[in-house]
Amino acid sequence: MYLGFPIGSPLVPDISRAVLQVTESDRMREIENAWFQKTKDCSASKASELSSSRLSPISFWGLFMIISVVSFISCTSYIGKFLYDQRYEWLNGNQTISSLFRMFIMERELR
């Protein structure tokens, strides 16, 4: 029982005895029965209920929607930040769209 206490701690023997008492008592069986009950065999009616409620891609539409919105916002903000950082070059006419695109690709590869 050295996981929670340093080696040589005076609490180790007391805690070890308490854990041993719980594991050997009826309380441990009560906990096991409450949390890990043995399942009974599935009947034919229960099996048909289970098969009709299988997960499908439609079950995850909310998750797909959240991921899509977050991805769109992330990409838009990244491109917006890049254009904001390059605004003086763009406004002064020093760069064309193709040169901005090349800089965007190079900056992304450097990260």
Domain spans of the chain, in order of start: 1-37, 58-111
Q: How far apart are CA 1 and CA 15, in angstroms?
A: 8
pLDDT at residue 73 in the model: 97
Q: Is the pTM of this model over 0.75?
A: no
What pLDDT digit, counting tens, does each position of 76-104 carry? 998 888 888 877 777 777 667 777 777 77
User: Residue 95 — left, alpha, or beta (φ > 0 → left; ψ -120 to 50 → alpha)?
Assistant: beta
- Summarised one tens digit per residue, pLDDT across range 12-58 is 888 888 888 888 888 888 888 888 876 665 555 555 555 556 777 78
* 1: confidence class by pLDDT, cuts 50, 70, 90: very low
